[in-house]
Amino acid sequence: MNITPCSIKTLKGLYDISGVEVGQHFYWQIGGFQIHAQVLITSWVVITILLGSVIIAVRNPQTIPTDGQNFFEYVLEFIRDLSKTQIGEEYGPWVPFIGTMFLFIFVSNWSGALLPWKIIELPHGELAAPTNDINTTVALALLTSAAYFYAGLSKKGLSYFEKYIKPTPILLPINILEDFTKPLSLSFRLFGNILADELVVVVLVSLVPLVVPIPVMFLGLFTSGIQALIFATLAAAYIGESMEGHH
């Protein structure tokens, strides 16, 4: 009977390292508004990683690409391909939006899985992937909504709103509802997946600290990548949908 308490104590020690604090935030006050500092800090790290690697790799493009440039050319072709498939021939102006969406979410998700945020201790809450916070995912989803409205309005003008009574005016409520469900599903899908992934890893680590969580961690990396791809693809699909003519 002595074994159990001791192992529980050890587990608790491990748990304190790997413990998850759901919904705990490290608050900053900015002009009377509260802000989740841990999200801001990790997003800065993500942005630094993105901009830094891009600057290093693409600073001086060669006709025969070097390793880094080759990688970023591959990424760019991938993003262009994705945008072209979803938006069509007029995909050009939307490449930066879709590309930034994909890269930001992808690097954020993987940073949550790969970077040892736990080393840096915060007074309250903990550092995790920026996409682990509902504010981030909702911000991205709302930007996507704004983007597809802008795309539709700039392409078709006010006749864009005709799509609400197509194919029949009976569908008007559902069509209006769609504008709300789109950002809702986008943000909650990403938020839920990343949060659940990190929770599963943390709980498994707390239960069995060695070996067992590794497959789940790899699964988490896979899920993170897929989620970034899904978000970018859906954003592109929405933009393409609002730009295409229903004639």
**Residues engaged in binding another protein (CB under 8 A):** 1-2, 4-6, 8-9, 11-12, 15, 19-25, 30, 33-36, 39-40, 43-44, 47, 50-51, 54-55, 58, 61, 63, 69, 72-73, 76-77, 79-80, 95-97, 99-101, 103-104, 130, 133-136, 138-140, 142-143, 195, 203, 206
Q: Select 33 or 157, whichever has its Cβ closest to another protein.
A: 33
**Whether the Cβ atoms of residue 172 and residue 163 lie closer than 8 Å to each other:** no
Min dist CB 6 to another protein, Å, is 7
Task: Please name which of 206, 203, 202 lies closest in space to residue 10, comparing C-alpha atoms.
Answer: 206
Find the shortest distance in angstroms from Cβ 121 to another protein: 16
Cβ closest to another protein, residue 44 vs residue 218: 44
* Minimum separation from the CB atom of position 45 to another protein (A): 12
Of 61 and 173, which has the nearer Cβ to another protein? 61
> Toward another protein, which CB reaches closer, 19 or 163?
19
Cβ contacts of 114-123, under 8 Å, gap ≥ 24? 114/221, 115/45, 117/42, 118/17, 118/18, 122/26, 122/37, 122/38, 123/26
3-18 vs 172-207: helix axis angle to the nearest 10? 130
Amino acid letter, 7: S
- Indicate the burial class of 237 (C-beta count within 10 angstroms; 0-12, 13-18, 19 or more): middle
